[in-house]
Every structure is written in structure tokens, then in C-alpha cells.
Structure 1
């Protein structure tokens, strides 16, 4: 697909001109009609050759998102957000997925969006592997031909992205319209929230790679920690410790460990003054027992690794304002969302990894 445009600048110019023409045309309905005839070249075997690194894979996805954005007027970061949500809930391209979508498991894909066969072909379509757009439309299926090869193929990235674009354009082009369209697709409020959060992160940073990290306390300061995962708790009933306690002086800076968006902020009777941050991998980073927050930080704000979010304290185990029932420390937990449920996992290995990375970087900087 990308081979059609051998010159980088020519490709960019064509994309910009296409996008401008579509945007000048007006309403979402006009965008949808124009996009129907703006065909992207067919992706051979479902996509280009398997990328040899995460960087080239991300570049290929970004290019696809930008091309579909030029064709439909939908911002690239909305396609990226849907794609990342699908990846984060671990929809693996297994044989069962291939059977569900009617695609061959051996065909490489650039994007991670998988549209189930009943949604693609229509729930009452007798041919659940249907690739004819007219019959798919007759049975109310989502599948569309976005590559111009005459087939609506759920194994072709251009077709999948264009089909999703057609769904989104039914609802309008504002951020709230996008949220409604996502809810109507997944019928899951959690999914709609996650996709919206991811879109906001991608829009803010302007890139797909948001994989940076930082240790939650300043490296070189006075702190100590060990693995405390799964130990019993002495307050609040029968429960286990879902995190790692990092003991440190009262008032020591607490930092964001990731690129993310502030999802929760306020009092929790177990965690005291706590803050929760969602990253692009759909992980929820939980910081508890704080003395207080960075005063400008609020829910919905975007943070970066190493950014100050609060200070170590001893709040919690009671009503709002309860302090001093235990030594000052940061409780750090991490949870993964799988679409329906969210579960905690031991953060200790990640904390050691992040700490070692920062120490290595400090040593490297000193040698310069």
C-alpha cells in the first residue's frame, strides 16, 4: 500500500490536499460519501510484511491512520485510540479469532482492531464470511470496502479502518459524538471511557509511542521498599496488600511513573488522599496515603513520567483527613483493565526496573 507513494513529500502533499478537500465539503454525511470513493490501495495478505521492530510497526500504523484521516476527516488519533484499546484488552490473533472474523490467521495485520463476524457481515447474514459490500449492507453489517479492491475484507486494514470510520461518521465529528459512537459500538461504558482517554493522550502528545517511565520517588533520596505483595492487612477487614509500600520521609515528592491521564483524585478511606492515573497500556497507577497533591492537578489532566503529582504522607484508614495511623510511606499499586474486569498485579518488578533504568541514566549523564 505504501509503495504507491515513493516520495515522502509527495505523499504528505496528497494527504493534505485530500483532507482539505474533504473538510471544505461540510457535513459528516458528505465526508462519508466522499470517503466511499477515496479508495486506499489493497493491503496484500492483510498488510505489509511483518514489521521488524516496534518502531517500524508504529510508523506503519500511524501512516494508515493518517491516510484514513485524510480520506474521512476523522482525526488520526481517534483511529489510534480504538486500535490501542483493542490491543490493551488482549484480543490475540488466534485461530479462534480468525474463524470469528473469517480471516486467515497467517495474514499479518498492521492494526489490532478485530470486528466480529456477526458485526462485520450482519447478525442475520447466512454467510458469516461474506465479503460483498452490497449483501453485507443489506443485512446491516458494518463491513465496507476501503481499499478499492471490490471486497469488504475483515483481514484488510484499510477495509477495517474505513468500516470503523463509516460507523463513527453516522454520529458526527465532535468529541462527544465520537464518545457516543464508541459506546454504540462496544455497548460498554468502560470501553468508551478508555478510548476517549487514549484519544486525548494521542492528541496531546502527537505520537503513538508513549512508553516512557519513571520511578515514583526521586532517585537518590532517602527511601526503602521491598516486595509486600499479597500480605495481610490489619485494617478494613479481610483483604490482601495489592501493591508495594515505599517508606520515605513525610513530604517527599511523589512522581508520575508514566504518560497518562488523571482518572481519580480524592479521599479513599483505605488509601487516604490518593490519585489514580491511566496510561496508554490501559494500566491504572494508584498512589495512596499522600500528604497532598500538586495544587494545579485535576481529574482529566495529562501527566508525563517524572512529573510531580503529590507528596508522601500517612493519610487514610478512616474518615477524610485521618492521618498518622502508620509511618509515612507511598503505597503504589498497578491494575490492568481487561475490558470487563480490572485486576491488580505485583508492581515490585516494574519498580526495580524503573529504578535501575534511572540509575543507569544518571551514571551515563555523569560520564559525559
Structure 2
């Protein structure tokens, strides 16, 4: 089975998948014992993938998810969704990042799933660095041996994914069971929602790279905008402006800026008819003061960059249906979720980047003609 794993980088992290029987065995004790019969030779650690091999690392990561999925019955996109959620909420100090860099040089990882020591080893385990499956199990820890080497290492992708798989399979293998398993792991409704959204996006598109973008208004049309981040607002109480206003004719098309999933849709007394879209980077794209929505678009639907989602209007600042209290424009905001809190940041630099990119593509297409 190892011959099927062409990338040596993946070989360092993946168990021999011929041990599928091991993964489906009854108790953790039986799994550990069975694993000893499928132990693969120790491989040299090597160096982590270079920074410019992002595509290669993504391909290796997807291959890892697919092969673990084949062994456990859990679809690859569910592993990918958990991994992406963990990446999106990761916050590292310079000291932690330096330590991780040193560790990665010795033992590179493909995934970003980090299981806290008290969870992995057991909260009452006196050895919070415990890697022995038997003692971890005794103290009610999460960690299991998925590579067949006799240890449960939280820095091993195979061990981490296998441990997560065994946790999820306790609740079943349907989409609903998966959501329950995720909630039971994080005990956080927002986390469960995000992982479910990411899994839906990965399943729909069938790939990890969902990094495309588009300017929210059609390039070449009549619009104007400048940086309005942080300016004062008085209606509804003292507050600051968390976004950029793009002034445009009433009824101009509003487009999705990203690959994402419709999270909110409806009336907000500040934003009027508004729509919110969550992307794979755990960013929430907020479009407000719309005249109306694309009729076919519903909550939970998947959108792509440049897809029509509504039209510029002047709704808001009152009860449902209030219009005309200000000139027609699109209020565009963007928020980042860090697991516990969600905070806004200035979208103006991204808007300029997306606009310039589309102008360049437009000029290139004209030259080709």
C-alpha cells in the first residue's frame, strides 16, 4: 500500500493503509495490539516542504485525507473541514511560532489540527506529554495510535486523524451524526456550524483550493468609493463604520466576492436588506442596503466569485421596508471569526486589490482580441 503514496512527504505522516481492519476493530486495546502486525519501517524525518510548494502540500494533504477516509469510512472533506477550521482560528505568538518552526524542521506535519495536551493525554494524567496508548486510555484521554508504531503522538498526522475518526464514529457516519460529533468535541455551536459549512464547500467543489475572488460590483460600471473605515455613525446610537461604502446607481448588480456559503439573509434595521456569506478562510462577507436579492438564492446555498447575489439600494435605518434615508450604495464589510469572537477589519485594501486584478484581466482580454 505504501507504493501508492508517491509523495515522500505524505509517507512520513501516513500509516500503512492496509491496516483498515485495525481501524475498524473493536476496542482501543485491540487496535493497538493489531497495529503491531502492520507496523511500517521507520522513515527518515527529512525537511518540511519549501514555502513555494503550497500547491504540493495541499495535494499531499488531500491525499492524506482521502486515504484516511478510505480506511475509516469518513469522507475526506470532513477531515479537511476540521483541519481548515483549526487553521482559521489558530493564533500564535512569535515565541510559539518559532518553537513550532523548530519542531517542524525535525518532524513536518501536513495538517493543522492541534489537540490540547489535557484532551490528548487525559485531564488527570500526571504526564501531560504521555504517548502511551494504554495509560492515555486509563486516564480517559483522546489520543490513539493510528500509525501502528505503538505510540499515540499528538504531532503525528496519522494518530491525530485516526483519533478524531474514532471519536466521530461513536456517533455514526451520517451528516447529522458528524455535526453531533463535532459539537461534542468542541462544545461550541459556532465551531460546529463552521466545520459543517466548510465540509459542504469542500464536498461541492471537490478540492481544497477555494481562493478565488471578485470585486463586488461589475468592473467598468459607474461607482465610486474611498476608505470609510472607522468614521462616525449616529443613527441607532454612537458607533463607528465597520466597512466601505461603494456608491453606485440604484439597481446595479452586487456580486459575491468569494467562494462561500450564504449564512444570513433578510432584514437588519441598520443594514436593511442584507446578505452575509462565509468563505473557507472563516471570513464573513457582509453586503448591506440592498434593493433586493437574487430570487433563487437561499440560506445555505453555495456561491462563487462574481455570482449575482442582489442589487444596490438604499434600504435600512428603520423597520422592514424602510428606503431612501441616504443615497443608494453598497455597504461592504468583512469579519474574521477566531473561534470565540468575531471582529471586523478594513475591507478597503482587499477591494482595491480585487478591482485592480479584474482591470488587469480586462485589459489582457482586450489585447487578445
Measure how far apart 1:135 and its partner are: 1.1
Structure 1 partner of 2:254: 254
Structure 2 partner of 1:280: 280
Over 3 Å counting, the alpha-carbon distance change for 1:340 and 1:2 in structure 2 is farther
Measure how far apart 1:29 and its partner are: 7.5
Aligned equivalents of 1:49 and 1:187: distance in 2? 33
Root mean square deviation of aligned Cα: 3.2
**TM-score normalised by L of structure 2:** 0.88
Aligned equivalents of 2:316 and 2:348: distance in 1? 22
Aligned equivalents of 1:71 and 1:114: distance in 2? 22
Q: SS at the partner of 1:204?
A: helix
Measure how far apart 1:6 and its partner are: 4.3
The answer to whether the Cα contact below 8 Å between 1:32 and 1:72 also exists between their aligned partners in 2 is: no
Structure 2 partner of 1:171: 171
Measure how far apart 1:95 and its partner are: 5.7
Measure how far apart 1:5 and its partner are: 3.4
1:236-263 per-residue CA deviation (whole Å, 9 max, x = no partner) reads 1100000000000000000000000000
Over 3 Å counting, the alpha-carbon distance change for 1:70 and 1:120 in structure 2 is same
1:121 aligns with 2:121: yes
Structure 1 partner of 2:49: 50
Over 3 Å counting, the alpha-carbon distance change for 1:71 and 1:238 in structure 2 is same
Over 3 Å counting, the alpha-carbon distance change for 1:97 and 1:231 in structure 2 is closer
The answer to whether the Cα contact below 8 Å between 1:31 and 1:73 also exists between their aligned partners in 2 is: no
Aligned equivalents of 1:60 and 1:42: distance in 2? 20
Over 3 Å counting, the alpha-carbon distance change for 1:249 and 1:74 in structure 2 is same
1:48-95 per-residue CA deviation (whole Å, 9 max, x = no partner) reads 732442211111110110111011000000000000000000244976
Instruction: Give runs of aligned pairs for residues 216-255 of structure 1, distance below 5 A.
Output: 216-255=216-255
Count residues with an aligned counterpart: 356
Structure 2 partner of 1:65: 65
Structure 2 partner of 1:197: 197
Measure how far apart 1:322 and its partner are: 0.1
The answer to whether the Cα contact below 8 Å between 2:336 and 2:344 also exists between their aligned partners in 1 is: yes
Aligned equivalents of 1:35 and 1:97: distance in 2? 34
Q: SS at the partner of 2:239?
A: coil
Aligned equivalents of 1:169 and 1:249: distance in 2? 53
The answer to whether the Cα contact below 8 Å between 1:42 and 1:156 also exists between their aligned partners in 2 is: no
Over 3 Å counting, the alpha-carbon distance change for 1:297 and 1:46 in structure 2 is farther
Aligned equivalents of 1:42 and 1:317: distance in 2? 67
Aligned equivalents of 2:224 and 2:39: distance in 1? 55
Aligned equivalents of 1:306 and 1:367: distance in 2? 22
1:254-275 per-residue CA deviation (whole Å, 9 max, x = no partner) reads 0000000000000000000000
Aligned equivalents of 1:322 and 1:18: distance in 2? 63
Aligned equivalents of 1:47 and 1:145: distance in 2? 22
Q: Give the gaps of 5 or more residues in structure 1.
A: 23-27
The answer to whether the Cα contact below 8 Å between 2:48 and 2:104 also exists between their aligned partners in 1 is: no
The answer to whether the Cα contact below 8 Å between 2:272 and 2:321 also exists between their aligned partners in 1 is: yes
Over 3 Å counting, the alpha-carbon distance change for 1:278 and 1:31 in structure 2 is farther
Measure how far apart 1:104 and its partner are: 3.9
Aligned equivalents of 1:3 and 1:315: distance in 2? 61
Over 3 Å counting, the alpha-carbon distance change for 1:300 and 1:221 in structure 2 is same
The answer to whether the Cα contact below 8 Å between 2:146 and 2:160 also exists between their aligned partners in 1 is: yes
Structure 1 partner of 2:309: 309
Q: SS at the partner of 1:286?
A: strand
Instruction: Give runs of aligned pairs for residues 1-368 of structure 1, distance below 5 A.
Output: 5-6=5-6, 49-51=48-50, 52-92=52-92, 96=96, 104=103, 106=105, 107-368=107-368
The answer to whether the Cα contact below 8 Å between 2:183 and 2:189 also exists between their aligned partners in 1 is: yes
Aligned equivalents of 1:43 and 1:194: distance in 2? 37
Aligned equivalents of 1:191 and 1:220: distance in 2? 39
Over 3 Å counting, the alpha-carbon distance change for 1:209 and 1:338 in structure 2 is same
**TM-score normalised by L of structure 1:** 0.88
